[in-house]
């Protein structure tokens, strides 16, 4: 027969170990999501730098410096690649400001994601009552190439 004190000690020891493992798992998930949001912002900003003043013929006539339509979609797609594998990543927001730039202007990409904490027990301990962590990353670049003239 197992003594009640030993059973309590065993339960406390391994219960604490289990809870710590769950919390570490959730903490790791949040860290991976944080890195993905940061990488999405960096990748989108790099695309913005390359796409904003690209030849209008490649973008169905959208003028250099106009970050709208297909140009904006392409910039966002650069970041979405990093967010798709995340739980809730399809709901991320990738904002680009401003929507029109000139040579030497600074433009920024901001990525926001409400990441759900889904590990049992650990979600509320690690992420609070909402069981969600709001992640945000902003990356800015200086735009170049808008002073080019298009060939007739």
Residue extents of the structural domains in the chain: 4-142
Using a pLDDT cut of 70, give the percent of the chain over it. 86
pTM for the model: 0.83
**Residue 121's pLDDT is what?**
75
pLDDT band at 41 (very low <50, low <70, confident <90, very high): very high
How many separate helices (H) and strands (E) can be counted in the chain? Answer: 3, 3
Angle at 41 between CA 22 and CA 95, to 5 degrees: 110
- Please report the pLDDT score of residue 15 as a whole number: 55
Distance in angstroms (rounded) separating the CA atoms of residues 46 and 75: 8
Q: Is the pLDDT of residue 109 over 90?
A: yes
Place of tokens 């979600």: 123
What six digits make up the tokens of 108? Answer: 């920024």
Q: Confidence band (pLDDT; 50, 70, 90) for 88?
A: confident
Band (pLDDT 50/70/90 cuts) for residue 16 is low
Rounded Cα distance between 133 and 115, Å, is 5
């Amino acid at each position: 027969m197992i003594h009640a004190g030993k059973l309590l000690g065993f339960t406390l020891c391994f219960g604490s170990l289990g809870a710590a493992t769950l919390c570490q798992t959730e903490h790791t998930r949040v860290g991976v999501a944080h890195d993905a949001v940061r990488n999405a912002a960096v990748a989108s900003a790099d695309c913005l730098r390359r796409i904003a003043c690209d030849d209008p013929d490649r973008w169905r006539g959208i003028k250099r410096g106009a970050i709208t339509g297909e140009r904006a979609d392409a910039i966002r797609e650069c970041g979405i690649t990093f967010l798709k594998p995340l739980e809730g990543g399809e709901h991320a927001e990738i904002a680009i400001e401003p929507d029109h730039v000139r040579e030497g202007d600074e433009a920024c990409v901001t990525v926001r994601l409400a990441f759900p904490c889904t590990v049992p027990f650990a979600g509320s301990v690690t992420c609070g009552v909402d069981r969600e962590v709001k992640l945000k990353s902003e990356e800015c670049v200086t735009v170049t190439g808008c002073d080019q003239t298009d060939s007739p």
